[in-house]
Amino acid sequence: MQDYARYDIKDFLADEAFCRWVLHQKPADNAFWENWVRNNPDRASIVITAKELISEIHHAQHYLSEDELQHELQRLSAARKSATEEMEYAESANDGVAPNWLSRFSLALGVLTCLVVLFYFYTNSPTNTSQSQISQESLKDEKNEKWIEVTNNESITKYIALPDGSSVKLSPESKLSYPAAFVKNEREVLLNGEAFFDVTKNPESPFKVYTSDVVTTVLGTSFTVKAFDQDKDVRVVVKTGRVTVAANAPQSKTQEPEKNELVLLPNQQVVYHRNEQKMKRSLIENPAQVGPADITSQNLVFEDAPVAKVFESLQKRYEVQIIYDADLMAGCQLTAELGQEPLFEKLGMICKAIQARYEVIDGQIVIHGSSCK
């Protein structure tokens, strides 16, 4: 039995049993401590302070917002589903030991290839004029295969079907190179100019679009890459799914590595500034609604609805992140009918009604509001 009567606040904080009581609130512990405080009334203030501090230290270490949590859980659940389907497919196709061994081998092969490619980019000096040629040639040489090159000299978009079933809409004055047949586990194409990609899903084989400055990697989704040699910046815009964009150029030592890779969600875009070699994530000018047309064509009707509900509906419709202080704005209510007007117009209307304002930070919408009292 500890001599709690001699404890100061530091001792209470360090004490395992005390900490367990504050955090877990088990009935047996409750009874013990209530009784102890009753018998030691002069120590009550220390106990209360220590208790409060522990729960504040607990709260101070929350770093995840509710929205982010839900988003990540949905993402995990979706990945789990496709993993299950994939596994069932693999099992029915092969039975037993082989697929595991095979997938490990192919993974190792994939990693090796990536390293070789990475190494190549690293060792090449970043002379801007010749770089796009160098990286494109290097890819082709390495594969030693037949590559098809399509250049669109006409004034209308050109439609290209890739060997894996993915489709590409190539803009005028743009050029796309791709292998006549994709080698297993590798889907890589080279782009000079602008194109919209609709990539067929294949979790085992990421689809990569190389341009002179950035590499865009996806598993199956649709997005646009715009990288004309004469432009100051390169742009990647996501329509559906999830896309990773990484800088292709060798980084200078001072740059932080994580700044050179960004994950994009629908309606987000990344702009790579060639001069500064920097990537910036933002929302596109007019985010589109995501989902089947019969749902997106319906108006959103709210009657004395809490703003949290309104924001939630918008988040679902546009698959964008809206960040706001739920506690602060708990008292805000809204009556409105939202139709087909652009997202930012909707946000403007809502913010006007609840006397708030919004801004777009790093591809997310942040609402600055008040308590509406």
> Which residues form the interface with another protein (CB under 8 A)?
9-10, 13-14, 16, 19-20, 22-26, 45-46, 48-49, 51-65, 68-69, 72-73, 75-77, 79-81, 83-84, 87, 253, 256-258, 263, 323, 325-328, 366
Min dist. Cβ of residue 56 to another protein (A)? 5
Min dist. Cβ of residue 240 to another protein (A)? 19
Min dist. Cβ of residue 26 to another protein (A)? 7
* Cβ nearer to another protein, comparing 53 with 288: 53
* Cβ nearer to another protein, comparing 150 with 308: 308
* Cβ nearer to another protein, comparing 295 with 361: 361
CA-to-CA distance for 4 and 36, rounded, in angstroms?
9
What is the CA 248 to chain-centroid distance, rounded?
Answer: 19
Min dist. Cβ of residue 62 to another protein (A)? 6
Nearest residue to 121 via CA among 272, 260, 237: 260
* Cβ nearer to another protein, comparing 300 with 326: 326
* Cβ nearer to another protein, comparing 24 with 38: 24
Cα pseudo-dihedral 98, 101, 102, 103, rounded to 10 = 120
Residues 249, 243: contact at Cβ < 8 Å?
no
Residues 290, 317: contact at Cβ < 8 Å?
yes
Cα pseudo-dihedral 126, 174, 273, 166, rounded to 10 = -100
| 217-234 burial code (b ≥16 CB/10 A, e <16) | bbbbbbbbbbbbeeeebb
Min dist. Cβ of residue 230 to another protein (A)? 32
